[in-house]
Amino acid sequence: MNDLWHQIFNFSDYGALLGLVKNSLVAGAILGLVGGLVGTFVVMRDLPFAVHGISELSFAGASGALLLGTNVVAGSLVGSLLAACAIGALGIRARDRNSIIGVLMPFGLGLGVLFLALYKGRAANKFGLLTGQIVAVDTVQLSWLAGTAAVILILLVILWRPLTFASVDPEVASARGVPVRALAPLFTIVLGLAVAISIQIVGALLVLTLLCTPAAAAMRVTASPVKAPLLSTLFATVSVVGGTMLALGSSIPISPYVTTISFTIYLVCRGIGAVRTRTTWGRRKALPYAGQSEARTEAPAARLAGKG
């Protein structure tokens, strides 16, 4: 029992270990920021399946790079972008999109497995691409991560408002002149970039823990378009950085720590959301038809504004 505990949590020589994984912590913080923001749109646009599909091709790219001895981040970027382009070009409609992803996903995974089988290097590298790793982030990789993250953030800042509009209310957005159709493949590319850097830390199988869970949790507790992405970012960062720090010194991959934190946050948010729905938001619905009278209704509105 005690042995098992020490396998999972081991904090001896913690200070020295922390120094070793400084790069990973920085990478984790970057991923938290990117994952939290991109995840907001993943949930709004109902794209978790696309995330999963892209990540398998990204994995194929990364393992191909590992086999060839080239830059792994660059490899996963290539895989991601190919997947994003395929989905963007072939899957305009939601139904087409899902079946195309369903076709691409096993192909990518199979290709990745082939590359890894041929690879003769360290086994930890292989496993890491699927289930996450913390020590393998060297300075070159970190600069690739940071550079890609910067591109993602710049694109997001530019696209933010029209992308929100197009995601939640496409008909009116289109009538107001938002290029709704062009934004879909554009966002898929942003998503591809985000997936490519996420798999470096959490692994291809667990990317959704960064690109979906935190945003879904945030949207349970707030409907404010400002607070939702902020909370989502906070949740994602806490999950990755916290997971990395807990995983230090243990012999277990980082991903179970990250996914557990992320999932716990989601459960808590779901609970809070359920209570909110039944009390504040729900109580309003119990009121009789409000008509045009304004006076008595200011109170619940103000109460929500404080928390919303």
Q: Binder to another protein among 11, 176, 275, 279 (CB under 8 A)?
A: 176
Q: Among residues 278, 274, 280, which one has the least CA distance to residue 307?
A: 280
Contacting residue, 17, 162, 186, 272, with another protein by CB under 8 A: 162
Taking CA atoms, 142 is separated from 74, 192, 203, in Å, by 12, 18, 16
- Kindly state whether residue 301 participates in binding another protein, applying the rule CB under 8 A: yes
Min separation Cβ 228 and another protein, Å: 4
- Report d(CA 229, CA 219) in Å as an integer: 9
Cα distances (Å, whole numbers) of residue 96 to 103, 163, 252: 11, 21, 39
Q: Are 245 and 223 in contact (CB under 8 A)?
A: no
Interface segment toward another protein; rule CB under 8 A; list 80-88, 110-118, 222-230, 235-243: 222-230
Among 71, 125, 164, 260, binds another protein (CB under 8 A): 164
Beta carbons within 8 Å of 169's beta carbon, 6+ residues apart: none
Which of 27, 205, 220, 242: binder of another protein (CB under 8 A)?
220
Both tokens of 109, joined, read 């995974």
Site map (CB under 8 A) of another protein, residues 38-77, x = contact: --x--xx-x-------------------------------
- Of the pair 127, 165, the CB lying nearest another protein is at 165
- Both tokens of 214, joined, read 């935190």
Contact (CB, 8 A) for 76 and 50:
no
| Whole-number Å distance between alpha carbons of 199 and 258 | 13
Instruction: Please choose, out of 64-72, 79-87, 141-149, 169-177, the segment that lies near another protein by the rule CB under 8 A.
Output: 169-177
Question: Which positions touch another protein (CB under 8 A)?
Answer: 40, 43-44, 46, 157-162, 164-165, 168-169, 171-178, 216, 218-220, 222-225, 228, 277, 281, 284-285, 289-292, 294, 297-298, 300-301, 304-305, 308
